[in-house]
Structure 1
Amino acid sequence: MLRTALRRLHPTTAVKTTVNGVLRRSIRPLQSSLTRSYCEHHVPNANPVALQRINYALDLARSQRTDESYTQALLVLEQGLSSQSQEGSDATIENSKGMVLLAISTLLMERGNIDEAMRALLLIQDLTSSTLGVRVAAMEALVGLNLELGLDDTSSVLADKCVNLLEKESLENSDEYGYKVFNARSKAIKGLVELVQGDMESAKACFEGCQDEGCIGNATLSYGEFLHAKRDFDAAKELYKKAINESSEKKDFSDPYLLGACNMASEEVLLAATCALGQLESHLGNFEEAEEILTRALKKAEANFGTHHPKVGTILTCIALMFRHKATAERSSSLLIQEGLYRKAIDLLKAPALENKDESGNLVHLQEDIEKKDIVALARGGYAEVLCVQENRKTEGDRMKKWAEFAWRNRRLSLAEALDVSESPCKVPVVDTRICRAL
């Protein structure tokens, strides 16, 4: 379906559209949905009908979050992509197509179809007449998806392209505030890549370039995570709160400066900032506040993705680590609570078996393509410590600990440092739920 839609991006390769009954039922109420428009703030050089179609499709997909609702929504967007009028300026046409592609990529990502989500985002690079905001949002999302997949080298190359995009863009072609916003976002996504790779000095240079009024959305959150990792807790808390407020008040496409897609969309920013704030309160020793905020993040993740999504497992891992830190600080015990949380998280993260065997029965090394490897290693490392303090389960705990240490890949801190926050006063882990990585 998407391949057909993407071919229709170019009128010379138009394919006959077959509109089935499902699509007709989806489109018929479109006009009634116009009462809640994306145009709270004027989105420059965009077709209002295209924005309204995006709004309708996203609401349709997320109303039930079923395979059928997402299929119907993608059909609505597919028709929107193929029916873009050739009337008007090239900028209006390409901008509208770019925004539809951003919406398509987001829905594909939400259903786990990362490859085709990336295909949609890559096509936006060819829309050179589209606004800077559309192109930055596409590049930012590509970086985010590659980081989530663990493709750090590719992420770095793409982040450099995003920075270069701003360097080539003339300020004369953008409003002054918009240029500042997108410049900050391009530098912040590069800073996030450096933070993932453990290069704090390079990350610092990136974030120092976005410390002005243009730092909003993803830039605010990523900068907050950098300060959090440096233990500048007060400054990080302010940025997390700012990111939460911005993402709560606006939706993607309603504000051209916050336009985002895939795991960099505003819903993802809101979830990640809430989870990060909960972790920060835990690191400060404010465990009651931490539990309340992390529980809020958990409910938000379940509402956004369903109760069995890996991102729910990611937040459960953060909650388990909070209880571990609380038990250490208060010299108490919460082994049963921690074990339950870790077990559920590991299950939702779809962690592989501790030991794999080939056809001959020989043990084989850990596979490199484990999804959410950072978080799986963190969850299993924490669970291993719960098991190791129980004499009758120590052997199982040692095996799990060995697995976790082998899987851990963070370059800034060891697994032991990530687990024992009180023992590493200069280093704290920050879990970013946008990319499911430990920073």
Structure 2
Amino acid sequence: MFRIASRISSRALVTLSAKPSPISFRSYNTGLALDKSLAVDDVVRMSQYALRQARSEKSVGSYGMGYLVLKHCLSTELTEGNDPKHENSKGIALLAIGDYVDAIEQLNGVQELANSYLGIRVAAYEAQAGLHLELEQDDMASVAADKCIELVENEKTEDYEALIVRARALKGLTELVKGDINSAEPYFDESLCNKLCEGTAALSYAELQQTRQNYTVAKEIYQHVLEGASELEKSGNIYLGGGNMNMEALMMQAMCGLGQLESQLSNFRNAEEHLTKALAKAELIYGERHPKVGVILTSMALMYRRKAIEEKSSSLVVQEGLYKKVAKILKFPAAESEAAAPSVERNDIVALASGEMHRSKLLTIGGLAEVLNVQENRRSEGEKMKKLSESLWKNSRMSLEDVLGNTETNISPVVDARISRLL
């Protein structure tokens, strides 16, 4: 039996809405949604129930109940048969089941559903690539993206244009994670700014524009993504996404991306509003102690650091408090100066957060010493943390010193909370 993880982000869940409706031409032709009439009703309802169970208590028991419901879908006549309706249903159930490694294995089965809607198979590759990226298996994510492009090019269905844009954007995201913006850019189609401005492909394109500091374009796309997600939720269609590329992760990261962008523009009130919404979304989906919550908190702390520097305010104190929470959630390793780089999950996020903790300690010592009555031993603690963060940093596009503002370069990373990576 598969592991029942205590982390909901590791579950490949599909976002489903309750109200039936005819196919939305716009959504269907962006390859993002499937009308409920094209799947078995009971599978849709049971997947809906499994999602509610997973969120209800965020416990091993609630995840286990959701898992058993989905397992039942796959073991009955509900998903048997080679006709499109039953294969669509099986694909939906497979997208909705499993945890990290198990999910990746389960998603392989989606590619065997040759009579299912092609968008389901594209979503499966997208989910696999997303999980590989979160596990820092970048080469395997790139292979999944290549297979996705090959799949769409070989079948060339009526939704070819939308699906190839989505498949290529997945490849672009894998290149962006590797730190090569120039290699990533050709994989993104300009139609993601307008006609195909929904879903994870558009979200990744917004992140590319943000790394390019094209903030106006990025902001418009983020807003389109959120509007499109809201429309899809109301439409009654089944959103085709799984793992960390599902509807909830999509909306969470769009809010987080907007918050980071507004911070980069020094619009701190707007930044705080968007990041607070992203945090509430993450806590609702995953629970208050989940690593993705720690990733959002890191983004908030970066915003408060920028605000403190620009406004010469006491936001630095808020920043340090947030990093203490992040340290507990992401389980920072001990800050020993002589220790070799430990093996930790979310290396760059941990390195950035611990490096910022060091920086905030030094700034606090310098600028707010009288207010906080900071002792000299905090400087020693900060120096140890600096060495730890430097040993963890792996990002190839920028150095930790660049990101912390210790050099003359003007680099602001984009934190992608879907995959817990820096772009």
- TM tier relative to shorter chain: 0.7 to 0.9
Shift of 1:95: 1.9
Cα deviation code 1:120-141 (max 9, x no counterpart): 1122122222221111111001
For residue 433 of structure 1, the aligned residue among 404, 417, 423 is 417
Give the Cα–Cα distance (whole angstroms) in 2 for the partners of residues 377 and 35 of structure 1: 38
Letter in 1 for 2:132: N
8 Å Cα contact 1:271/1:300 also seen in 2: yes
- Listed as ranges, the matches of 1:361-400 within 5 Å are 364-368=339-343, 370-389=344-363, 390=365, 392=376, 393-400=378-385
The reply on whether 1:143 has 2:124 as its aligned counterpart is no
Give the Cα–Cα distance (whole angstroms) in 2 for the partners of residues 62 and 139 of structure 1: 25
Pick closer, same or farther for the CA change 1:127–1:385 going to 2, 3 Å.
Answer: same
Give the Cα–Cα distance (whole angstroms) in 2 for the partners of residues 2 and 381 of structure 1: 37
Shift of 1:45: 4.2
Cα deviation code 1:374-413 (max 9, x no counterpart): 1111100100101223271222212211211221111111
Give the Cα–Cα distance (whole angstroms) in 2 for the partners of residues 437 and 35 of structure 1: 29
8 Å Cα contact 1:187/1:210 also seen in 2: no
Name the residue aligned to 1:124: 110
Name the residue aligned to 1:58: 51
Shift of 1:88: 5.9
Give the Cα–Cα distance (whole angstroms) in 1 for the partners of residues 93 and 130 of structure 2: 19
8 Å Cα contact 2:17/2:233 also seen in 1: no
Give the Cα–Cα distance (whole angstroms) in 2 for the partners of residues 84 and 100 of structure 1: 13
Give the Cα–Cα distance (whole angstroms) in 1 for the partners of residues 250 and 318 of structure 2: 28
8 Å Cα contact 1:39/1:48 also seen in 2: no
Give the Cα–Cα distance (whole angstroms) in 2 for the partners of residues 36 and 325 of structure 1: 42
Letter in 2 for 1:205: P
CA RMSD of aligned residues (A): 2.5
Cα deviation code 1:83-136 (max 9, x no counterpart): 13587653322221111111113xxxxxxx311121211221222222211111
Give the Cα–Cα distance (whole angstroms) in 2 for the partners of residues 299 and 35 of structure 1: 20
Give the Cα–Cα distance (whole angstroms) in 1 for the partners of residues 258 and 407 of structure 2: 18
Name the residue aligned to 2:195: 213
8 Å Cα contact 1:252/1:259 also seen in 2: no
8 Å Cα contact 1:95/1:131 also seen in 2: yes
Shift of 1:364: 4.6
Name the residue aligned to 1:245: 227
Pick closer, same or farther for the CA change 1:87–1:61 going to 2, 3 Å.
Answer: closer
Name the residue aligned to 1:334: 315
Shift of 1:421: 9.6
Cα deviation code 1:185-244 (max 9, x no counterpart): 111111111111111111110013654623421011100000000000000000111111
Name the residue aligned to 2:13: none
Give the Cα–Cα distance (whole angstroms) in 2 for the partners of residues 143 and 76 of structure 1: 26
Give the Cα–Cα distance (whole angstroms) in 2 for the partners of residues 381 and 150 of structure 1: 20
Give the Cα–Cα distance (whole angstroms) in 2 for the partners of residues 157 and 318 of structure 1: 30
Name the residue aligned to 2:282: 301
Give the Cα–Cα distance (whole angstroms) in 2 for the partners of residues 422 and 184 of structure 1: 37
Give the Cα–Cα distance (whole angstroms) in 1 for the partners of residues 342 and 390 of structure 2: 14
For residue 178 of structure 2, the aligned residue among 186, 197, 208 is 197
Higher relative contact order (CA 8 A, sep 6+): 2
Pick closer, same or farther for the CA change 1:407–1:38 going to 2, 3 Å.
Answer: farther
Larger displacement relative to structure 2 (311-320 or 213-222): 213-222
Unmatched segments (≥5 aa) in structure 2: 4-15, 24-34, 366-374
The reply on whether 1:222 has 2:218 as its aligned counterpart is no
Give the Cα–Cα distance (whole angstroms) in 2 for the partners of residues 350 and 234 of structure 1: 36
8 Å Cα contact 2:19/2:234 also seen in 1: no
Give the Cα–Cα distance (whole angstroms) in 2 for the partners of residues 127 and 429 of structure 1: 39
8 Å Cα contact 2:127/2:245 also seen in 1: yes
- Secondary structure class of the residue paired with 1:101: helix
Name the residue aligned to 2:7: none
Give the Cα–Cα distance (whole angstroms) in 2 for the partners of residues 88 and 336 of structure 1: 60
- Secondary structure class of the residue paired with 2:67: helix
8 Å Cα contact 2:19/2:235 also seen in 1: no
The reply on whether 1:284 has 2:265 as its aligned counterpart is yes
The reply on whether 1:310 has 2:291 as its aligned counterpart is yes
Give the Cα–Cα distance (whole angstroms) in 2 for the partners of residues 60 and 435 of structure 1: 23
Name the residue aligned to 1:23: none
The reply on whether 1:90 has 2:79 as its aligned counterpart is no
Name the residue aligned to 2:305: 324
8 Å Cα contact 1:253/1:259 also seen in 2: no
The reply on whether 1:414 has 2:407 as its aligned counterpart is no
8 Å Cα contact 1:276/1:430 also seen in 2: yes
Give the Cα–Cα distance (whole angstroms) in 1 for the partners of residues 187 and 249 of structure 2: 22
TM-score by length of 2: 0.85
8 Å Cα contact 2:197/2:224 also seen in 1: no
- Listed as ranges, the matches of 1:44-193 within 5 Å are 45-85=38-78, 89-105=82-98, 113-171=99-157, 175=158, 178-193=159-174
Name the residue aligned to 2:8: none
Give the Cα–Cα distance (whole angstroms) in 1 for the partners of residues 230 and 101 of structure 2: 29
Letter in 1 for 2:70: L
- Secondary structure class of the residue paired with 1:104: coil
TM-score by length of 1: 0.82
Larger displacement relative to structure 2 (162-171 or 62-71): 62-71
8 Å Cα contact 2:127/2:243 also seen in 1: yes
